[in-house]
Structure 1
Amino acid sequence: MHHSTEFYINGRWVAPATLRPLPVIDPSTEEVCATISLGDQADTDAAVAAARAAFDGWAATPIPERIAALERLLAAYTARAEDMAQAITAEMGAPIDWSRQQQVTSGDWHFEGFLAAAKEMEWDRPLGPHAPGERIFHEPIGVVALITPWNWPMNQIALKVAPALLAGCTMVLKPSEVAPLSGLVFAEIVDAAGIPPGVFNLVNGDGPGVGSQLSAHPDVDMVSFTGSTRAGRLISIAAADTIKRVSLELGGKGANIIFADADDKAVKRGATRCFNNSGQSCNAPTRMLVQRDRYEAAVEIAARVAEETPVIPAAQEGRGIGPVVSEVQFDKIQTLIQTGIDQGARLVAGGTGRPGHLNRGFFVRPTVFADVTPDMTIYREEIFGPVLSIIPFDTEEDAVRMANDTVYGLTNYIQTTDKDRLRRMARRLKSGMVECNGKGFGKGSPFGGMKQSGNGREGGPWGIHEFLEVKTVSDWD
């Protein structure tokens, strides 16, 4: 990748003010697959200045032209799908088939959802018949900083860039320094789509550097961040002095509540969902709460799913999970698995160490613990690896109490054939999303959480509104 140490600022690839090389490690091989440069304050300032200079012109661009720009971006993105899949596989270890079928397609899925939402939105309207002449306008908030994670790189970049573009904002993207290659490919796609100079800018960097600089920058009007709750807290603090808007999509510890009357595939479906993407999803159903009548059978099924889940190098085609993203993540997950054992959880599949057929790479054994209790670390902490905790419950009240007994509130899951129970439960669970009986959410559905899982929503009209200010004007007519 010939732009790997450069940044995309004001419609051009530019060298960093000071070269600060950082190797990108292929997690399957533990070898360097590329080198980027970390930005510093001069690079951040240049990108923000370019976005600020471009703002007035882009904000004044008619809505149909912004929609046309996103349509061009979607076409350019689709044309580079294989390049994007290869980049994601190399940088964060998603198996190549998973990259092609899930990681890359999450981007165009969101583009399409935002295009549909933008075409239906009321960008300005009268307040109502009780206030003749008063009009409500939705206007872009300004220059926005987009800070994205490594686990679903295109999913999160699309969820931020597309609505910001449609809203009329200009932006600076800082992808994760752990998995930056897909972001660089995306900047090439933006360039090919003919997005005006300065509307989209990219600077690579780490959280304490470029991330903090963007969060505190006086010429940045909003920060949209996806990542850990710890980092989200630091961004909020950094942004506080300038009273800028902060939109946060943070961690999760989802409960998957399986009642005795759930369909036969509920346990297998839940365990597979937990292990997908090597467990590196904030909305993964990592706590499986099973009604006692089905508990031991569920433990056996989940253990079998873990044992039958292939663990493969990311470049290998076929079904399976790849490595976790880095040595830091690998070590964290190993420590938490050992903590689960030490605290008395019953290990029924997996455990510490790599799978036996792999002697290098950051590969984690799909792991299942039974008899997990609320006082255990693995019940409470987001592990972000292929580790499932199974807990029995007796009554509906028990299930609600246990599911809500967490600082997180992103996604919970319900498995039952009793529709009345499903509806009761869904209303009582404290999470931004409740997925029921394996039915996924539709294109343009709002994504986001409650409590320490963050604030704001991404996707569809809700995602566009995150980047808009509301203005009221009297005596318009």
Structure 2
Amino acid sequence: MREALQFYVDGRWVSPTSATVIDVIDPADAGIAGRVAIGNAQDVDHAVAAARKAFDSFSRSSVQERLDLLDAIIAAYQKRADDIAAAVTAEMGAPAWLASAAQVPIGLAHLQTARQILEHYEFSEKRGATLLAKEPVGVCAFITPWNWPLNQIACKVAPALAVGCTMVLKPSEVAPFSGHIFAEVMHEAGVPAGVFNLVHGDGPGVGAALSAHPDVDMVSFTGSTRAGVEVARAAAPTVKRVHQELGGKSANIVLPSADLEAAVAQGVAAMMVNSGQSCNAPSRMMVAAGDMARAKTIAAAAAAEQTVGQPASNAKLGPVVSQAQWDKVQHLIQTGIDEGATLVAGGTGLPDGLDAGYYVKPTVFADVTNDMIIAREEIFGPVLTILAYQDVEQAIVMANDTPYGLAAYVQGAAQEAGEVAGRLRAGQVYLNYPDLDMTAPFGGYKQSGNGREWGAHAFGEFLEVKAVMGYASAGA
């Protein structure tokens, strides 16, 4: 049984101020995977004080010192890769192959990308007699979710560390073990005391205290739009910088020029990755009305290939993360049936042969309209909706008719797909299922958040800009 019963503060492991401990549930069988301590505002005070104390010196560290530090973190992370993968599987149910092939490597990729960018990043610029200096924003609070835990930890920690910020991390209490190992990695790498701190806990007890803390200069949150609103409210009285990566309901427009067979089949597979628990999942597929019948057949066959099973098996899908998540997904599948959408694949209940754990049948609805609940709410499970459009203009309108704007997808002839992309209100647009670009800025329009993560744009989120006028005349 795994345990995360201490916090990492000021360079050492410390006991919480309270004795509150909760079970962490293994979604594969609904058994107990381990225990995690739950912190409070007093624990947050200790961690923030350590980060504040460390900021003065770390913010003035040299680029070379931070490059060396990132090298040490990368090496320590690679040594613990198998441990981290096993933790991800135990805490949130990712199939073992997915944890090893994607969940852990993407965290490493963010560390490596930040290191590459830092090597050539310009922290100052002269414009005539004025110097523009980019300086670390200060103490950062990171509140991260359970669905891609290493991705969301590393894409915040790596750039913040690279530019000279100090930080306090609160990983999800639903999936805390990978974050706990990440703190062990930071300690082994020799991160200076107070630069990186970890406090386990829930949103009301630790997340709210971090968001409201007067000595936190920036809070970066990834999670639901509802929770993001609460983070912003808590942060408002201290006018701290707030970065949010929130929900999504991403459109996937299959243009008439696309190879329908490939576009639909790949769209189903992309939707189902990580059991559909990705904020940028292509959950609203849009096909020409005349192609709907064929799309149903293709989608049904593609869904049948999405095997579901124990994380240790070779199944493509494991469970969703929790009973609450399973209940939500089941409710929304039933809602789609009640709304009159055509159930092409899947449906309610556990998949055949699985009588314990939080497994969901890979589900596809067709003949969906954009006013249906299943087309508007983020389901966060392996559920795809297929909508029909009469012409491309209508497809663009439908794609933008959502409160979200995290991502969008377009399949079809390159020039037309690019023109459609230019009209979509989303922070990322993927044309013809491209390879992942770790340097591309990640973030959303509208209620999908504000600010950008990944690559050089992430550096800017953690920097203040100071204009020093008369710099040349001062003899500098």
Scaled to the shorter chain, the TM-score interval is: over 0.9
Match of 1:436 in 2: 431
Once the two structures are superposed, residues 74-124 of structure 1 have per-residue CA deviations (whole angstroms, 9 ceiling, x without a partner) of: 111011100000000000000000000010001111112111211221111
Map of 1:299 onto structure 2: 296
**Equivalent residue for 2:275?**
278
User: Any unmatched runs of 5+ in structure 1?
Assistant: none
C-alpha separation in 1, matches of 2:22 and 2:454? 33
Which of 311, 321, 335 is matched with 1:314 structurally?
Answer: 311
Match of 1:93 in 2: 93
The aligned amino acid for 2:32 is V
Q: Classify the secondary structure of the residue corresponding to 2:238.
A: coil
Specify the code of the residue in structure 2 equivalent to 1:390: I
Asked whether the equivalents of residues 318 and 359 of structure 2 are also in contact (C-alpha less than 8 Å), the reply is yes
TM-superposed CA distance for 1:293, in Å, is 3.2
Pick aligned residue for 2:251 from 255, 276, 284: 255
Provide the residue aligned with 1:216 in structure 2: 212
Once the two structures are superposed, residues 126-175 of structure 1 have per-residue CA deviations (whole angstroms, 9 ceiling, x without a partner) of: 02xxx3x3111000011000000000000000100001101111000000
| Alignment RMSD | 1.0
Q: Is the 8 A contact 2:53 2:194 kept in 1?
A: yes
> What is the CA–CA distance in structure 2 between the aligned matches of 1:217 and 1:191, rounded to whole Å?
25
Matched residue, 2:169: 173
Report how many aligned residue pairs link the two structures. Answer: 471
Give the partner amino acid of 1:211: G
Which residue matches 2:454?
Answer: 459
In structure 2, the residue corresponding to 1:445 is in which secondary structure?
Answer: coil
Measure, in 2, the Cα distance between the counterparts of 1:325 and 1:319: 16
Partner residue, 2:17: 17
Kept after mapping to 2: 8 A contact 1:290/1:392? yes
Q: Percent identity?
A: 53
Secondary structure of 2:350's aligned partner: coil
Provide the TM-score with structure 1 as the length reference. 0.97
Q: Distance in 1 between matches of 2:102 and 2:119?
A: 26
What is the DSSP-based 3-state SS (H/G/I as helix, E as strand, rest coil) of the residue aligned with 1:277?
Answer: helix
- 1:140 aligned residue: 136
Cα separation, 2, equivalents of 1:321 and 1:183? 23
Alignment match, 2:7: 7
- 2-structure distance, mates of 1:301, 1:20: 50
> For structure 2, which runs of at least 5 residues remain unmatched after alignment?
none
Q: Distance in 2 between matches of 1:310 and 1:414?
A: 26
* TM superposition shift of 1:420: 2.6
Q: Secondary structure at the match of 1:409?
A: coil
Amino acid at match of 1:188: E
What is the deviation of 1:396?
1.2
Where does residue 414 of structure 1 map in the other structure?
410
Q: Is the 8 A contact 2:418 2:431 kept in 1?
A: no
TM-aligned CA deviation for residue 458 of structure 1 = 0.3
Structure 2 residue aligned with 1:235 = 231
Residues 2 and 34, structure 2, Cα contact 8 Å, conserved in 1? no
Aligned: 1:265 with 2:280 = no
Counterpart of 1:442, as a letter, is D
One-letter amino acid of the structure 2 residue matched with residue 277 of structure 1: N
Please tell me the residue identity of whatever aligns with 1:397: E
Partner Cα distance (2:383, 2:363) in 1: 5
- What TM-score comes out, normalization by structure 2 length? 0.97
Post-superposition shift, 1:394? Answer: 2.0
Counterpart of 1:193?
Answer: 189
Distance in 2 between the 1:443 and 1:252 partners? Answer: 19
Q: Which residue of 2 aligns with 1:71?
A: 71
What residue is the counterpart of 2:443 in the other structure?
A: 448
CA distance in 1, matches of 2:30, 2:209: 30
User: What amino acid does structure 1 have at the position aligned with 2:287?
Assistant: V
CA distance in 1, matches of 2:95, 2:436: 24
8 Å contact from structure 1 (residues 253, 381) kept in 2:
yes
The answer to whether the aligner puts 1:473 opposite 2:468 as a matched pair is yes
User: 1:298–1:220: structure 2 CA closer, same or farther, 3 Å change rule?
Assistant: same
- Contact preservation (8 Å) 2:339, 2:372: yes
Q: Distance in 2 between matches of 1:475 and 1:424?
A: 45
1:388 equivalent in structure 2:
384
Q: Which amino acid aligns with 2:383?
A: V
In 2, Cα distance between the equivalents of 1:154 and 1:50? 23
Q: Tell me how far apart the structure 1 counterparts of residues 297 and 137 of structure 2 sit (CA, whole Å).
A: 52
Equivalent residue letter for 2:105:
T
- Summarize deviations over 1:43-95 as a string: whole Å, max 9, x none: 11000000001000100101111121111101110111000000000000000
Distance 1:292 1:439 in 2: 25
CA offset at residue 42 of structure 1?
Answer: 1.1
Q: Secondary structure at the match of 2:439?
A: coil
Alignment match of 2:373 (pick from 371, 374, 377): 377
Identify the range of structure 1 (142-151 vs 419-428) with the bigger mean alpha-carbon deviation.
419-428
Q: CA deviation at 1:3?
A: 5.8
Shift of 1:2: 7.2
CA distance in 1, matches of 2:154, 2:448: 20
Distance 1:3 1:366 in 2: 32
* Residue aligned with 1:28, SS: coil
Per the TM alignment, residue 348 of structure 1 is displaced from its structure 2 partner at its CA by: 1.1
- CA change 1:388–1:2 in 2 (3 A) is closer
- Give the Cα separation in 2 of the matches to 1:285 and 1:432: 14
- From 335, 344, 350, the equivalent of 1:348 is 344
Aligned mates of 1:415, 1:347 — CA distance in 2: 24
Extract structure 1 runs of 4+ deviating beyond 3 A: none
Deviation at 1:443, TM superposition (A): 2.4
Asked whether the 8 Å contact 2:2–2:177 carries over to 1, the reply is: no
Whole-angstrom distance in 1 between the partners of 2:112 and 2:65 = 16
Per the alignment, residue 328 of structure 2 pairs with 332
